[in-house]
Chain A
C-alpha cells in the first residue's frame, strides 16, 4: 500500500496561464499534487478543466508560469517527451481510434512491440474482458467498455502520473466502480499520481484524496475529499 504522507510534490503548477488564440482560459493558476495522490479537479462546463490537462501535457502551450514534474520544469515540453517520461493521458474528446482494433489502440501506447505483452498483462489485471476481445474494433465496444479501454491505454506503461479527463461521464455505477477500483489499485500498488478531471461529484469524492474547483480558469476552492465536502463542492457546481 502506497502512503502519500510526507511525500514530495509530483506535479506543481506555478502561475500557469494558457488559452487558445487571444482567449485566455487558464489564468495564473497554481497547484501542487503530491506523489501518489489522487486529485480531483471539478468545475462547471467551460471553466478550463480540459484545457488545463492539455496545457500540462504540452498540447496547449503555456503562456506564462512554470509546470514542474518531480521538480523538473516541463513547461514547453512536447507530449512525446512527457509520455516518455512517465505521463499517461486518458482524453475525453475523440479518445479512441474507433476503426482500429483494441489491440492496436493499446499497441500505440507502447514504444516497442517487445513491451506489448507485459503491458497487456498489466491492464488485463484491471479489465480482464479485454483479453478475449483484442481483435475487436474499438468503435464496436459499448460506452463503458470504451472508457475502460481508454483508461487501459493510459495505464499500459505504468505511468508515474496519469491525467484523466471525465472518465465517468455517462457510465453506469457498476462500470464506475470498476474504474474506481483500477485507479486505487494503481495508486496503492505503484504509487501512481492521478489528476482526475470530473463532473461526477460522488465518484470524485469517493476516489480522490483532495479536490479543487476550477472557475474561469482559476482555483476557486479546494479541500480534502471527505463525505462532508459534498455540499461545499455542490455549491460551486450549481448553475
Chain B
C-alpha cells in the first residue's frame, strides 16, 4: 500500500512541478528553460518567509506573486521578441536561468537552507501510516489540475488561450488581444512554478541550483504531454510510477533517470507522446 501511495504522490509532485512549464509551452509554444530558476525563486520565498518569522503558508501567495511579476517582466523584455524564434527563446531562457541562479547566489550565498515544514506528521490512509505532507501534495496537484481545467474550459481567458493554441492568426483577426493573453499566460505559468518551488521545500533542501534537478524531468514530461493537462497527469502517473518502482526494486540512481529515459523512448515511438489523452 505504501508503494501505491508513493507512486501516486510522486506523480502528484511531478505534476505540480511541471504544470507551469506546460501552461507556457501549451499556449505560447515556448520552452521556458528558466523553469528551474522559477522553482528556485519560489523556494527562496519560503526561505525569506521563514527568515521574517512569517507563517510558512504565506510563502505560497508570496511565491506566486513574485513569480508572476518577475515572469511578466521576463515576457515583456526577453520572451516577447522571440516568439517567432523558439530556438533562440530556449537559449535566452536558459541564459536567464543562469542569471537568476547567480543573482540568488549573490543575495543568499551558496549555503543550503531548510525551511519550516508546511505540514508535519503522518496520517492513516488505507490501513497504512503515511506522510501527511505527501498526501497534501496529492490534494494540491488535484486542485492545480482542476484549477487549470476550469481556467481553460470555464473562462474567457481560457477560451481565448485555446483559440490562440489552435489558430493564432484567426484569433488576431477576430480582435483577440493575443499580446495580453500571452503575457497573462506567461505570468500564470511562472507564478505557478514559483508556487511549486514552495511546495517542494518540505521534500528537498533549498540552494541556488535546486531547480536544475527538476528541469530535465519537467521538460521531458511536457514534451510527452504536448499541450494537454490531462496528458501531463497521465505521463506523471506512468513515468512517476516507473520511477518509484525502479528506485525501490532496482536502484535509486537508475530511478533518477527513469522519467527522462522513458519520455525519450515514448517520443521515439510517437512524436505526439501522450498528447491524445
Q: Which residues of A line the B interface, CB within 8 A?
A: 57, 59, 79-80, 82-84, 89, 91, 94-100, 104, 107-109, 112-113, 153
Q: How many residues of B contact A (CB 8 A)?
A: 16
Q: Which residues of B line the A interface, CB within 8 A?
A: 156, 159-160, 162-163, 166-167, 169-177
Residues on B with beta carbons closer than 8 Å to the beta carbon of A108? 159-160, 163, 171, 174, 176
Residue of B nearest to A113 (CB): B156
Tell whether, in the assembled complex, residue B163 and residue A91 are in contact, meaning their CB atoms are under 8 Å apart.
Answer: no
Residues on B with beta carbons closer than 8 Å to the beta carbon of A153? 174
Give 14 A-B contacts (CB < 8 Å), ordered by A residue. Answer: A59-B169, A59-B172, A80-B172, A82-B175, A83-B174, A84-B175, A89-B174, A91-B170, A91-B173, A94-B169, A100-B162, A100-B166, A107-B159, A108-B159
Tell whether, in the assembled complex, residue B170 and residue A80 are in contact, meaning their CB atoms are under 8 Å apart.
Answer: no
Interface centre among A79, A83, A99, by most chain B C-beta atoms within 10 angstroms, is A79
Residue of B nearest to A104 (CB): B159
Tell whether, in the assembled complex, residue A97 and residue B173 are in contact, meaning their CB atoms are under 8 Å apart.
Answer: no
Residues on A with beta carbons closer than 8 Å to the beta carbon of B159? 100, 104, 107-108
Interface centre among B163, B169, B175, by most chain A C-beta atoms within 10 angstroms, is B175
For A97, give its contact among B166, B175, B177 (CB under 8 Å). B166
Residues on B with beta carbons closer than 8 Å to the beta carbon of A79? 172-175
Residue of A nearest to B180 (CB): A80
Residues on B with beta carbons closer than 8 Å to the beta carbon of A83? 174-175
Residues on A with beta carbons closer than 8 Å to the beta carbon of B170? 91, 94-97
* Nearest chain B CB to A222 CB, angstrom units: 27
Tell whether, in the assembled complex, residue A80 and residue B163 are in contact, meaning their CB atoms are under 8 Å apart.
Answer: no
* Nearest chain A CB to B86 CB, angstrom units: 21
* Nearest chain A CB to B131 CB, angstrom units: 41
* Nearest chain A CB to B209 CB, angstrom units: 41
Q: In the assembly, what is the distance between CA of A112 and CA of B162, in Å?
A: 17
Q: Check A109/B174 contact, CB under 8 A, given A97-B163, A99-B166.
A: yes
Interface centre among B166, B170, B171, by most chain A C-beta atoms within 10 angstroms, is B170
Apart from A89-B173, A109-B174: 13 A-B pairs, beta carbons within 8 A: A57-B173, A59-B169, A79-B172, A79-B173, A82-B175, A91-B170, A98-B166, A100-B166, A107-B156, A108-B159, A108-B163, A108-B174, A108-B176
Q: In the assembly, what is the distance between CA of A59 and CA of B176, in Å?
A: 12
Residue of B nearest to A84 (CB): B175
* Nearest chain A CB to B246 CB, angstrom units: 37
Residues on B with beta carbons closer than 8 Å to the beta carbon of A107? 156, 159
Interface centre among B159, B160, B173, by most chain A C-beta atoms within 10 angstroms, is B173
